[in-house]
Structure 1
Amino acid sequence: MMIRDEFRQIRDNGVWHQNTSLVQILGLCPLLAVTTNLVNGVMLSLATIIVMAISNAAVSSLRNLIPHEIRIPVFILIVAALVTVVDLIFNAQFHDLYLVLGIFIPLIVTNCIVLARVEAFANKNPLLQSTLDGVFMGVGMLWTLALLGGLRELIGGGTLFSGIDMVFPALQQLQLLPADYPGFLLAILPPGAFILLGCLIAWKNWVEARAAARSPGRPPMPSAAVTDGA
């Protein structure tokens, strides 16, 4: 049975200490391409959370039955089946948003975040821990993409929740800056995404440095290797 400290460690690693976007730097393609607004980033993250949680649970349940030599193809087949289901659900329920997200929902199959957690964690740990790892790693991705998308949308156009009507037709976007705000085009272009992502990484490092300075006896948290991924 999982103890409270183990749960806290899985949660903290996924949401903060090993954040896939700010520490491991995985999944840069959707991170930079989809986060032109908050809604796109959140919805793609939710799709990824569903795939990660179920694929981690499936792999953890079957890990003793999968031959080591063919584990990667089997993992990819499991993830691909789940992504197909999520893709069809988005197409049926959120068709307009599905058209906006385009190829990035099918590309979850090759997302390094999903495959890395399946191989590094779910293949070696029990069902409950593996499922929670998938959920919290996805939550770490969600808040990062939501914050990055919100900043890009606000700076680029002065709005928040642009496209929310594609998810909830009764809701409308918020105009937070004056209607005559000319916008800042760089923010919604790929270079702006790189700049803001760098600022978020610097902010996280600053927060951790301050926390370490306040607790001199506390050992620094190990960071995962920085790896670029699709």
Structure 2
Amino acid sequence: MSSEKEPLFSAKNLKLVTGPLGSQNPITTQVLGICSALAVTAKLEPAIVMSVSVIFVLVFSNMIVSLIRNTIPSRIRIIVQLVIVAALVIVVDQILKAFAYEVSKQLSVFVGLIITNCILMGRLEAFALGNKPWPAVLDAIGNGAGYGLILVIVAIVREIFGAGTLTLPGIGTLQVIPQFLYDLGYVNNGLMILPPMALIVLGIIIWVQRSRNKELIES
């Protein structure tokens, strides 16, 4: 446990944020949150919104569970965690429907399925229940950002090669592939917007990461 005088942004605390962005990424290393990574990455906009939603839910659920960790009976801790996460997911869902309805429709049931995201329950069980609120918040930010980073990378690759565009929240659709390439015969790869290609792109990311980090190579 960290001491009371430990700096807020000590090396130990910063590692909680930076670790999941690299060798401890929840998707590529721990293979968590795969379903949404495959389902909402056909375009960049829903991938970004989904990432922000998960970060929001993860940060506040980690913080709340950490604050009340000493008062939660062990027998019902999972139920308490699910209630907290479900309440936060409802808040996110209603905000999206009110202010980003079109994106909410694109995300469909996957906003509600944040409740079952293994990253959330994993961090609540593995970290928030045993640590103070500040480290728990940093851990949530790191894992949420690591999750979002992979979603954004997969979405960029799929949308550029599948549609020749990038769709950004509040900006709209930007044409990335120049028109002259289409005039020369370039054709968008329709397979890129199908779920199997998300799995292939994700597999390539995992392969690149593991090839660059020998510690991740399984014996």
- Would you say same fold, with TM above 0.5? yes
SS in 2 for 1:123: helix
1:62-113 Cα shifts (integer Å, max 9, x gaps) = 0100000110011000000011011111110101111111111111011111
Question: In structure 1, which of residues 183, 188, 194 is the aligned counterpart of residue 188 of structure 2?
Answer: 183
Segments of 5+ residues of structure 2 without an aligned counterpart are none
Does the CA-based 8 Å contact 2:166-2:176 persist in structure 1?
Answer: yes
Match of 1:118 in 2: 124
Match runs of 1:57-206 below 5 Å: 57-161=63-167, 164=168, 167-168=169-170, 171-179=171-179, 180=182, 181-206=186-211
Question: TM-score normalised to the size of structure 1?
Answer: 0.85
1:172 shift after superposition? 3.2
Question: TM-score normalised to the size of structure 2?
Answer: 0.90
1:18-76 Cα shifts (integer Å, max 9, x gaps) = 11111111111110010001111111010000000000000000010000011001100
1:116 shift after superposition? 0.6
Q: Distance in 2 between matches of 1:35 and 1:26?
A: 16
Q: Distance in 2 between matches of 1:8 and 1:134?
A: 12
Q: Distance in 2 between matches of 1:172 and 1:99?
A: 16
1:13 shift after superposition? 1.9
Match of 1:51 in 2: 57
1:221 shift after superposition? 7.0
Question: In structure 1, which of residues 16, 22, 38 is the aligned counterpart of residue 22 of structure 2?
Answer: 16
Match runs of 1:27-38 below 5 Å: 27-38=33-44
Runs (4+) of structure 1 moved beyond 6 Å?
A: none
Segments of 5+ residues of structure 1 without an aligned counterpart are 210-219, 224-230
Q: CA RMSD in A?
A: 1.6
Q: Distance in 1 between matches of 2:26 and 2:117?
A: 11
Q: 1:222 to 1:207 in 2, by over 3 A?
A: closer
SS in 2 for 1:25: coil
